[in-house]
């Protein structure tokens, strides 16, 4: 039965998988509108060109397939890592940071093609629906959003397969046979695994689940040293070789994966209110976080570092909850980016069996580390140790006053 809503064209975030293939046909049938497909290559490691063939089979005339890897890392991942963003102490936000880019391009394509609606395959239980839609509304306030999972009754894999069979929608053999016993989402920053057998938080996933990291036990027995060059808080070279943003993350993923770095098994709090168990592989990001903090340790003022650390959890929640385009995130980003103007130099890390250890850091132009002052040897008067007595006594004043008061009360 067709909807009465007047939708002429809709831009669908389309992967070519089971869910979005069914959504494509469902939109055509239920809304009676033209569907424009948009497929983004953000480094998911799978061929995206088959999506064009599948969309053509479904009668789609306007098909957008775009390589967004460079924009993804340069304009989304790197700014996030300048903030050292970590959600709930552990999660490096690999899925969260990809959604605003997809929302941005959906809206841009909608404007370009004259579409009046956008659609996505996120379920009504998860965070992605919020991220896609907050992004879309922020950039195109009057856009109509169609979220099939909140409208249809195809709420199981069996119903989706039956709908696909009824409507002649080609389904990947692995999907028909069940495929992996969990769902996966990948991009250049990470791979996430959730659902299926992982819904039991006490279940330890088999080692074969992990795709881009070896187990630490099977990692090389010899450590590998890597030097990262920073300019304004971003990595611009690895071992002296200049690279683009996407090239940096690609190379760090290879290095980290080789040494079993970046695996995470986490129960997190979704924005919609429920807890969710997810497993993540973020090898390059894990290296980036450790190295960036090391670079900041010698180039940032103590109180600037403390302020960034105070703001980081809020910044991370904004990204996790879908507020990338919000005024508060944009304001925070200006502060963070201003702090990074002096974050220049090199960091050397050691990769070994699942660990990233900082073993050196240097900045020829912006280091605040002064050996003449911090030395344990004779500093030739650079620091007057006698000054510490008054400093300590003044900082103890409030505690001394409180202690004297307690003494009088006895």
Of 153, 179, 205, the residue at which a domain comes to its end is: 179
Residue 349 lies inside a defined structural domain of this protein: yes
Q: According to the model, what pLDDT value does residue 176 have? A: 54
Strands 117-119 and 9-13 turn out to be parallel
For residue 12, pLDDT over 80 is answered with: yes
Question: How far from 369 is each of 294, 298, 308, 375, CA to CA, in Å?
Answer: 12, 6, 19, 10
Residue 19 a catalytic site member: yes
Span 367-383, average pLDDT? 92
Give yes or no: residues 247 and 351 share one domain: yes
Give yes or no: residues 116 and 35 share one domain: yes
Tens digits of per-residue pLDDT, 238-252? Answer: 999 999 999 999 999
For residue 45, pLDDT over 90 is answered with: no
Give yes or no: residues 38 and 162 share one domain: yes
Give yes or no: residues 109 and 45 share one domain: yes
Give yes or no: residues 353 and 228 share one domain: yes
Span 13-33, average pLDDT? 95
Tens digits of per-residue pLDDT, 47-71? Answer: 888 899 999 999 999 999 999 999 9
Residue 293 a catalytic site member: no
Phi, psi of 281 (to 5 degrees): -120, 115
Span 177-196, average pLDDT? 86
Q: Specify the range with the lowest mean pLDDT, choosing from 45-49, 186-190, 219-223.
A: 45-49
Give yes or no: residues 157 and 205 share one domain: no
On average, the pLDDT of the chain sits at 95
Residue 347 lies inside a defined structural domain of this protein: yes
Span 12-32, average pLDDT? 95
Q: What is the 3-state secondary structure (H, E, C) of the chain?
A: CCCCCCCCEEEEECCCCHHHHHHHHHHHHHCCCEEEEEEEECCCCCCCCHHHHHHHHCCCCCEEEEECHHHHHHHHHHHHHHCCCCECCCECCCCHHHHHHHHHHHHHHHHHHCCCEEECCCCCCCCHHHHHHHHHHHHCCCCEEECHHHCCCCCCHHHHHHHHHHCCCCCCHHHHCCCCCCEEEECCCCEEEECHHHHCCCCCCCHHHCCCCCCHHHCCCCCEEEEEEEECCEEEEECCEECCHHHHHHHHHHHHHHCCCCEEEEEEECCCCCEEEEEEECHHHHHHHHHHHHHHHHHCCHHHHHHHHHHHHHHHHHHHCCCCCCHHHHHHHHHHHHHHHHCCEEEEEEEECCEEEEEEEECCCCCCCCHHHHCCCCCCCCCCCCHHHHHHHHHCHHHHHHHHHHHHHC
Q: According to the model, what pLDDT value does residue 81 have? A: 98
Question: Of 21, 82, 116, 128, which one is the catalytic site residue?
Answer: 128
pTM: 0.95
Give yes or no: residues 347 and 202 share one domain: yes
Residue 114 lies inside a defined structural domain of this protein: yes
Q: What is the CATH number of the domain that holds 226?
A: 3.90.1260.10
Q: According to the model, what pLDDT value does residue 177 have? A: 59
Question: Of 21, 82, 96, 99, which one is the catalytic site residue?
Answer: 99
Cα dihedral across residues 22, 27, 33, 34: positive or negative: negative
Give yes or no: residues 138 and 264 share one domain: no
> What is the residue range of 404's domain?
380-409
Give yes or no: residues 292 and 212 share one domain: yes
Q: Taking a C-beta distance cutoff of 8 angstroms, is the pair 242, 336 a contact?
A: no
Q: What is the CATH number of the domain that holds 60?
A: 3.40.50.620
Q: According to the model, what pLDDT value does residue 170 have? A: 82
Residue 285 lies inside a defined structural domain of this protein: yes
Tens digits of per-residue pLDDT, 280-289? Answer: 999 999 999 9
Q: Specify the range with the lowest mean pLDDT, choosing from 10-24, 166-180, 214-228, 317-331.
A: 166-180
Between 202 and 6, the higher pLDDT residue: 202
Give yes or no: residues 192 and 173 share one domain: no
Span 14-37, average pLDDT? 95
Question: Of 157, 183, 270, 366, which one is the catalytic site residue?
Answer: 183
Percent of the chain whose predicted confidence (pLDDT) is above 70: 97
For residue 265, pLDDT over 90 is answered with: yes
Residue 183 a catalytic site member: yes
pLDDT band, very low/low/confident/very high, at 178 (cuts 50, 70, 90): low
Residue 4 lies inside a defined structural domain of this protein: no
Crossing angle for the helix pair 397-409 and 387-395, to the nearest 10 degrees: 50
Give yes or no: residues 161 and 224 share one domain: no
For residue 19, pLDDT over 80 is answered with: yes
pLDDT band, very low/low/confident/very high, at 157 (cuts 50, 70, 90): confident
For residue 356, pLDDT over 90 is answered with: yes
For residue 328, pLDDT over 90 is answered with: yes
For residue 179, pLDDT over 90 is answered with: no
For residue 146, pLDDT over 90 is answered with: yes
Tens digits of per-residue pLDDT, 292-311? Answer: 999 999 999 999 999 999 99
Residue 313 lies inside a defined structural domain of this protein: no
Residue 86 lies inside a defined structural domain of this protein: no
For residue 114, pLDDT over 60 is answered with: yes
Cα dihedral across residues 258, 264, 358, 296: positive or negative: positive
């Amino acid at each position: 039965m067709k909807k009465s809503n007047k939708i002429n064209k809709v831009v669908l975030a389309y992967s070519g998988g089971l869910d979005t293939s069914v959504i494509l046909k469902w939109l055509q049938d239920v809304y009676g509108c033209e569907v424009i497909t948009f497929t983004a290559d953000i480094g998911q490691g799978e061929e995206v060109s088959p999506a064009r063939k599948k969309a053509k089979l479904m009668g789609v005339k306007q098909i957008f397939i775009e390589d967004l890897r460079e924009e993804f890392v340069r304009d989304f991942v790197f700014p996030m890592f300048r903030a050292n963003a970590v959600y709930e102490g552990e999660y490096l936000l690999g899925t969260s940071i990809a959604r605003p880019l997809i929302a941005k391009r959906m809206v841009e394509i909608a404007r370009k093609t004259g579409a009046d609606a956008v659609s996505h395959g996120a379920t009504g239980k998860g965070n992605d629906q919020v991220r896609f839609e907050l992004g879309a509304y922020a950039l195109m306030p009057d856009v109509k959003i169609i979220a099939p999972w909140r409208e249809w009754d195809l709420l199981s894999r069996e119903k989706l397969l039956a709908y696909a069979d009824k409507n002649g929608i080609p389904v990947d053999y692995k999907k028909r046979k069940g495929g992996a016993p969990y769902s996966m989402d990948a991009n250049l920053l990470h791979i996430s695994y959730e659902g299926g057998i992982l819904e039991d938080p006490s279940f330890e996933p088999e080692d074969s689940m992990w795709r881009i990291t070896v187990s630490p036990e099977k990692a090389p027995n010899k450590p590998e040293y890597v030097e990262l060059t920073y300019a304004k808080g971003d990595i611009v070279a690895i071992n002296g070789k200049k690279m683009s943003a996407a090239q940096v993350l690609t190379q760090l993923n290879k290095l980290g994966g080789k040494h079993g770095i970046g695996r995470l098994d986490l129960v997190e709090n979704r924005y919609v209110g429920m807890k969710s168990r997810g497993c993540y592989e973020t090898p390059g990001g894990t290296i980036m976080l450790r190295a960036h903090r090391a670079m900041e340790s010698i180039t940032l003022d103590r109180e600037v570092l403390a302020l960034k650390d105070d703001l980081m959890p809020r910044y991370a929640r904004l990204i996790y909850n879908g507020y990338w385009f919000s005024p508060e995130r944009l304001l925070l980003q200006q502060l963070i980016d201003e702090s990074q103007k002096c974050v220049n130099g090199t960091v050397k890390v050691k990769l070994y069996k699942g660990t990233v250890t900082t073993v050196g850091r240097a900045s020829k132009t912006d280091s605040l580390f002064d050996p003449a002052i911090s030395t344990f040897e004779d500093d030739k008067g650079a620091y007057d140790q006698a000054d510490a007595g008054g400093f300590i006594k003044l900082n103890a004043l409030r505690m001394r006053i409180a202690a004297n008061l307690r003494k009088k009360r006895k």
